[in-house]
Structure 1
Amino acid sequence: MAFLAEQVQFIANLHFHGQNRFTVPNIRNSVSLQTAFFIGLHQKTIDMKSSLFSFVSLFLGVCFPVGGMLAQSAPDTVWQKKIGGADYEMAYCIRNAGDGGYIIAAVSSTPDEDDNILVLKLNAQAAVEWQRLMGGSDAEEARTIEQTKDGGYILLGTSLSEDGDVTVNNGRRDVWVVKLNANGAIEWQRSIGSNADEEAVAIAQAPDNGFVVLGTALNGDEFSGDRNYIAAKLTAQGVVSWQKEFGGSGNDVAHGLIVTEDNEYILAGTSYSEDGDLPTTIVGDYVCWLVKVNTSGSILWSKCYDGENGGIISAAKPQPNRYSFLAIKGPSSNSYHWLFTIDKQGVVLSDTKHYFPRYHIGEELIRTADNGYIMTGFAVETDTAGDPTALGTWLVRFAADGSLVWQKKLLNDTASDSATYVGKSTVETTDGGFLVAGHLTYFEDTVGNVDVWLVKLGGTNLPAGVDEAAGVNETVMLYPNPATTTFTLEWQHATTHPACIRLYDILGKIVFSELLPQGTDHATLNLTPLPSGIYTLTSTEREVIRRFRLVKD
């Protein structure tokens, strides 16, 4: 495969122009299949300016304004970039890499051939360092990719193939797990499934260096069959230790996975069942369902968060005994996004409700360095007649307590623009900004009309060790940086309130935390036990959050 072309444009604000037509080729290009299932997507065909186009119509209720004042303004768009060639390239997941760059799981195909999975490694400036195309002669789809503890990557997707890079097919579509080394070479691969169709959902590395895999199994045909969670535990070498299904006689659709600090696994999603592994009595047609299993796959507890129709759509990286999920709940006439946090027994510790306009749906929730969240989703704006006027990417920033900080939309104008910008996944950058990955869809019937799309939001691009708290008249320095053992954090003036110090590794895990008393003017961090790499240090003093990129040699 030829090396993909890269084009980048630096802009102050995103604004797009084009011809008088647009389309969404299929549901997969806008919202995930799992999300589409429980919110009841359907296609609607509309005639606009003598051109037929389709758009996704979501049963998310009537239009409601966002309540309350935003705590901050949304970050500006710094640049956008497309990566692609003659094929169709669509990014579905982006994650931070340990060297300060990024890893992307994407799909590449031509109009006459089935999809293969494309993995892109970017450097810190988002330039392509290497790319790998993998799969067989049938169709593969990418779901997610994560960095592993050995510096490689674990890729999760689905496959229909039984040749090429895929050695086994269990019948129809399987969950496909691929372990890559740091340079993208395949170390091992494994197909998980049965003679049914399986949809990949999530993968996480366990404390024993093995992997926990979550998907949805479809037993029967696509429209009348029932679904169950399917989970598997793999060793670090890819050997399947166990594989089990969870659910009842109805439809149970998985959407998120958390590996707890005590090596237990929380499987999250949506259930329409009232039997099997579900509590016998639920309220509503479908509910948010969590099931916790141990290292052998035995159920520890099973809980439904009902009272209203609802379904979990994403899970954030955990904190100790605090596990956060994003759901959509409520009747179709008044639905809302529900951000909630539970403890290890499934008890809700905190939750917030957010009413957004109709046709706005979140898909991915990630935890940020300050323990807040960023949600990536898709939005369709309509006029009073219900016809679409704009559609594209929707981002929402939440604080650690779940309150709304800002939201930003990167939309096309359906009357004038010839492309749609579909963001699928977001990461926080080391300069305090965000990098969104997805795909740019052009609406011309020509080859190469879908490319990987990246957009950089905010950030200061400051060098390592420089205070990033904008607008605060207080100098804080981190030195030496890089260093091998100890670092010093020094305030020009002693703190007037207690300051919370947290250190995060490249995977977003807290590796050090300390509460410094009021009056602190310096703190020394001994990082000798930690491996070399890039870390993010945050210092939080009341409403002021400072971030530093810390490099340990």
Structure 2
Amino acid sequence: MQMIKYISAFILLIVSLTALSQPELTYQKVIGGTSNDIATEILQISDNQYVVSGYSRSSDIDLAVNNGLFDLLTFSTDSLGNILWRTTLGGSLDDAATSMLATADGYLLCGFSKSSDGDVLANYGDNDGWLVQLNTDGAAVWQSNLGGSGSDIINDIVAIPSGGYMVVGSTTSTDIDLDGNYGGQDVWVMRIGGGGAVVWSKHFGGSGDDVGRSIIYTNEQYIITGYTFSNDFDVSGNHDATGLTEDVWVLNLDIDGNINWQYCAGGSSGDEGEDLVAINDTLIAVVAESRSLDGDLSGHYGGSTTRDIWVFFMHSDGNFITGHHFGGTDDEVPGSIRLEDSTRLIITGSSESNDIDVSAHFGAVGVSDIWIFQTDTSLTLQWENNFGGTGMEFCSGIVALGDTNYIAIGQTRSTDNQVLLHHGFTLNNDIWFMRLGSFPTPCAPAFTSPLSDVLTCFEDTVSLTAITEPAAQVYEWHFPDGGSVFSNYSNSLVLAPVPAGLDSTYFIVAKSLCGFDTSTIAAFRTDEVIAPSIFPLLSPSLCDSGEVLLHFTPEAGFTYAWYFNGEPIPDASGSSYLATISGDYSVLATRSENCVNFSAPRTVTYETDDAIISFSGPANLCASESVTLSTTLDEDWSYQWFYNGDTLVGAVGAELIVTETGNYSVRITISDSCFSNSITVAVINETPVASIMANGDTDICLTGSVLLNTSVTGIGYSYQWLQNDIPITGATTIGLVTLDTGYFALEISNTFGCSDTSEAIYVFTSCPEDTTTPVGLSPDLESIAMLLYPNPAATTLNMEVTIPGAINLPVRILDLQGREVYLEWMVFNPATTRYQVPVEVLSPGMYILQIPGSSPAPFVKE
């Protein structure tokens, strides 16, 4: 159809309106959880009820259920954004509501579903179009998945006056509910009957991608907007015949899905239709995003890659009338267009600009604010305002309440400026409920009374209340010493239970969009309840007088109750109690319902002091065949001895002769109700089992010595080395280095006088008797004096040796296991008295140096 630009006569009759003052954000509330939550549409049901559609990944805070990835979300709120009911539907994959409309019996949502489980009954493949009918309470009545095995999405829905619905979206399918495809995505339109039954399903477009985003009914026609990359089949007049950029596509259908007319609006740089509204029976307003400055557009604010919001009018017969672009030099994106009255349009979306039509911007470059503006039907900007914080915002829907008051819905990632609260991380969206209008007077909250100190304990439940006039929109509860901040929309905070570590001062910040106030500072004490200590501390006995006075020191703010063997004692709530029965007594201290603690039990008995057991000798049977145990003798007392916890029959005297090892105790009965139990004593029979070993060869012909030692050790053990059954003087350690031959053994004794002697080890020499000394060592050289220094030594050990004649002798170093770690032959003569032995390569420890004719000399290597 040839484009005709004209200004309709009825537009010329519209009187210009004086620009209105811009509405302010007077109230806001975030809705959702700690994951991503998106709103797509808002409907006004009454003065105090609104219904919002969208999709969500959250399952906490305001949203209780998530089936996996995104779920379709619908909820109802009052005029302050308080949730009246909520519904999440979906399966394990992505499911979403893109739009909805109110029906006679509830709400019909459209969108898409990729799931085939959970709440979703079926799936044809990839995304299916999805219709869900809810009743007025948000409960699902019926659902229908539509499309084919490709990707199918429903973006909008409109009621047919004669019954049923018309839906629009996009499809790549060619089967099931679709009979073909022109290429890529096609615009998909379906007429739906009762219960979601398909009356007819058609696809429109060309060989490029074509998407339908919005549909309206007006004057017995169905008008669709979206965008197209095509210029063939159903599409003609695209401003870019190459198919590289898109045009806004406006399509007019009759009730049977036949095309009445189609129009490609825009220029050569890329333009997409988002929403449209009928101003009257013959005038249609379309909102789009546009990068173009030619074709149907006469200008563009930014560069060729930035988008303006473009509003244009079309006649119901398909003729383009006029348009105007709005925004600044950065990106603007539309979300919705609504007819506020017969002469004013309200447009929502987002803006990244701070110039031309956009008067302010909260975020950084490239981060969008919500942008809402009003234009008249001559496309003159009446007012505009941006909303949000330094995060990303977008507005998808709005309801006009009259007198420049609105309720808008969108999403936000901000935590500052006008966004007073945010759930989860800043990369996640919260749904943002907004009231626009004029601030009331007074507006900023003010605290009317100081805070009170709080005394509680961990795990208790505490309710705090902030009193301001007027009420605030958000309250922040600060506990600076405990490092905690709690934020909510209520003027009360319930800590159930009080978390550990919250012992602090606290204060409250009450916030509204027009100001804030900070309360006084008060104490928040979260002590644990200290259990009382019952006196006397030692286990008291009833033996002396038949009664014991138990008592404790009470603290202010507590109530107390005495318990006996875990059960409460009636009417026993004082700081003392007279006990006349043996058992366990305790006290329950109570500050509040969950703020309690029990004392440690105090046991009242009929026992006197512990009986004492004495030994006639060592409690070790190794030194004798028996030991006598005895306790205090009194002819009026009776006795009973126990062996390993069992009663010893007949052992009823004050003495007991023990011949078996084990544990013994005695119980003395002083009177019918008084007795004394001893501690348990052990009788043992422990004798050392001696054994020795030789570290090295027991033939000392070549080594000149051998190290003998033992691994038998114990508390109180003593040692004596024997040579040929004769004690060696001074040989009383666990090791012995011998230069002599013979039979060597070790006697090991304990403190009880019990001992054992090891098997003997024979040390010998294989050298002939006439060569037991090295060759050249005459008998008068067999006694050589030697002195070692420094000791300990680090690198070099000096030997001072006095020798009457020249001789060549081996110098050996042994470790404590008798292993030779160094050997050097040295020439000794009377003219030299000092010789050096290198020890740098030795590991730190104790060693023995040997030369024939001299006693082994120990030294320490550092």
With normalisation by structure 1, the TM-score equals: 0.62
Larger radius of gyration: 2
Q: Once the 2 structures are TM-superposed, how far is the Cα of residue 458 of structure 1 from its aligned partner?
A: 0.5
More moved, 391-400 vs 270-279: 391-400
The residue matched to 1:249 in structure 2 has which SS? coil
Partners in 2 of 1:354 and 1:392 — Cα distance? 15
Extract unaligned runs of 5+ from structure 2. 1-16, 60-65, 175-182, 294-302, 356-362, 416-421, 441-862
Write the deviation string for residues 395-426 of structure 1: whole angstroms up to 9, x where unpaired.
1111233221111111423xxxxx44433222
Q: Once the 2 structures are TM-superposed, how far is the Cα of residue 360 of structure 1 from its aligned partner?
A: 1.7
- 1:251 matched to 2:228? The reply is no
Partners in 2 of 1:313 and 1:189 — Cα distance? 26
- 1:71 matched to 2:29? The reply is no
Q: Once the 2 structures are TM-superposed, how far is the Cα of residue 353 of structure 1 from its aligned partner?
A: 3.5
Task: Name the residue aligned to 2:395.
Answer: 423
Q: Once the 2 structures are TM-superposed, how far is the Cα of residue 391 of structure 1 from its aligned partner?
A: 3.0
Match of 1:410 among 378, 382, 387: 387
Write the deviation string for residues 289-343 of structure 1: whole angstroms up to 9, x where unpaired.
2221211112222222355443322112553222211123415538643322222
**Contact kept in structure 2, 1:135 and 1:166, CA below 8 Å:** yes
Q: What code does the residue aligned with 2:437 have?
A: G
- 1:176 matched to 2:130? The reply is yes
Q: What code does the residue aligned with 1:303 have?
A: Y
- 1:294 matched to 2:254? The reply is yes
- 1:101 matched to 2:49? The reply is yes
Match of 1:143 among 83, 89, 98: 98
Write the deviation string for residues 184-208 of structure 1: whole angstroms up to 9, x where unpaired.
1222211121111123321111112
Partners in 2 of 1:154 and 1:247 — Cα distance? 27
Task: Name the residue aligned to 2:161.
Answer: 207
**Contact kept in structure 2, 1:256 and 1:268, CA below 8 Å:** yes
- 1:376 matched to 2:334? The reply is no
Partners in 1 of 2:222 and 2:331 — Cα distance? 32
Partners in 1 of 2:325 and 2:189 — Cα distance? 30
The residue matched to 1:319 in structure 2 has which SS? coil
Partners in 2 of 1:404 and 1:447 — Cα distance? 36
More moved, 404-413 vs 308-317: 308-317
**Contact kept in structure 2, 1:377 and 1:424, CA below 8 Å:** yes
**Contact kept in structure 2, 1:171 and 1:197, CA below 8 Å:** yes
Q: Once the 2 structures are TM-superposed, how far is the Cα of residue 451 of structure 1 from its aligned partner?
A: 2.6
**Contact kept in structure 2, 1:341 and 1:351, CA below 8 Å:** yes
Q: Once the 2 structures are TM-superposed, how far is the Cα of residue 127 of structure 1 from its aligned partner?
A: 2.3
Match of 1:272 among 229, 232, 255: 229
Task: Name the residue aligned to 1:190.
Answer: 144
Partners in 1 of 2:267 and 2:425 — Cα distance? 49
Label 1:272 to 1:403 Cα distance change in 2 as closer, same or farther (>3 A): same
The residue matched to 1:368 in structure 2 has which SS? strand
Match of 1:133 among 82, 88, 92: 88
Q: Once the 2 structures are TM-superposed, how far is the Cα of residue 92 of structure 1 from its aligned partner?
A: 2.0
Q: Note the 1:23-422 alignment, pairs <5 A.
A: 71-98=19-46, 100-110=48-58, 113-148=68-103, 150-218=104-172, 226-262=184-220, 264-279=221-236, 282-283=239-240, 285-309=245-269, 310-317=271-278, 319-329=280-290, 330-331=292-293, 333=304, 336-354=308-326, 356-381=328-353, 388=365, 391-413=368-390, 419-422=391-394
The residue matched to 1:265 in structure 2 has which SS? strand
Extract unaligned runs of 5+ from structure 1. 1-68, 414-418, 462-553
**Contact kept in structure 2, 1:381 and 1:390, CA below 8 Å:** no
Q: What code does the residue aligned with 1:156 have?
A: C
Task: Name the residue aligned to 1:526.
Answer: none
**Contact kept in structure 2, 1:101 and 1:126, CA below 8 Å:** no
Q: What code does the residue aligned with 1:184 have?
A: G
The residue matched to 1:237 in structure 2 has which SS? helix
Q: What code does the residue aligned with 2:100 have?
A: I
**Contact kept in structure 2, 1:75 and 1:457, CA below 8 Å:** yes
Partners in 1 of 2:196 and 2:225 — Cα distance? 23
Partners in 2 of 1:175 and 1:459 — Cα distance? 41
Label 1:257 to 1:431 Cα distance change in 2 as closer, same or farther (>3 A): same
Label 1:127 to 1:445 Cα distance change in 2 as closer, same or farther (>3 A): closer
Label 1:110 to 1:76 Cα distance change in 2 as closer, same or farther (>3 A): closer
- 1:454 matched to 2:433? The reply is yes
**CA-based RMSD:** 3.1
Percentage of pairs with the same residue: 25
Partners in 1 of 2:118 and 2:47 — Cα distance? 30
Answer 1 or 2: which has greater strand percent. Answer: 1
The residue matched to 2:280 in structure 1 has which SS? coil
**Contact kept in structure 1, 2:307 and 2:331, CA below 8 Å:** no
Task: Name the residue aligned to 2:730.
Answer: none
Q: Once the 2 structures are TM-superposed, how far is the Cα of residue 381 of structure 1 from its aligned partner?
A: 4.1
Q: Once the 2 structures are TM-superposed, how far is the Cα of residue 249 of structure 1 from its aligned partner?
A: 0.3
Label 1:354 to 1:82 Cα distance change in 2 as closer, same or farther (>3 A): closer
Q: Once the 2 structures are TM-superposed, how far is the Cα of residue 119 of structure 1 from its aligned partner?
A: 0.8
Q: Once the 2 structures are TM-superposed, how far is the Cα of residue 250 of structure 1 from its aligned partner?
A: 0.8
Write the deviation string for residues 425-448 of structure 1: whole angstroms up to 9, x where unpaired.
221125641112122325899579
**Contact kept in structure 2, 1:70 and 1:404, CA below 8 Å:** no
**Contact kept in structure 2, 1:422 and 1:440, CA below 8 Å:** yes
The residue matched to 2:313 in structure 1 has which SS? strand
Q: What code does the residue aligned with 2:159 have?
A: Q
**Contact kept in structure 2, 1:266 and 1:291, CA below 8 Å:** yes
Q: What code does the residue aligned with 1:321 have?
A: T
Q: Once the 2 structures are TM-superposed, how far is the Cα of residue 105 of structure 1 from its aligned partner?
A: 0.5
Label 1:431 to 1:147 Cα distance change in 2 as closer, same or farther (>3 A): farther
The residue matched to 1:412 in structure 2 has which SS? coil
Q: What code does the residue aligned with 2:317 have?
A: Q
Partners in 2 of 1:261 and 1:394 — Cα distance? 31
Partners in 2 of 1:353 and 1:394 — Cα distance? 14
**Contact kept in structure 2, 1:340 and 1:350, CA below 8 Å:** yes
Partners in 1 of 2:45 and 2:278 — Cα distance? 16
Partners in 2 of 1:91 and 1:336 — Cα distance? 23
Q: Which has the higher contact order (CA 8 A, sep 6+)?
A: 1
Label 1:157 to 1:338 Cα distance change in 2 as closer, same or farther (>3 A): same
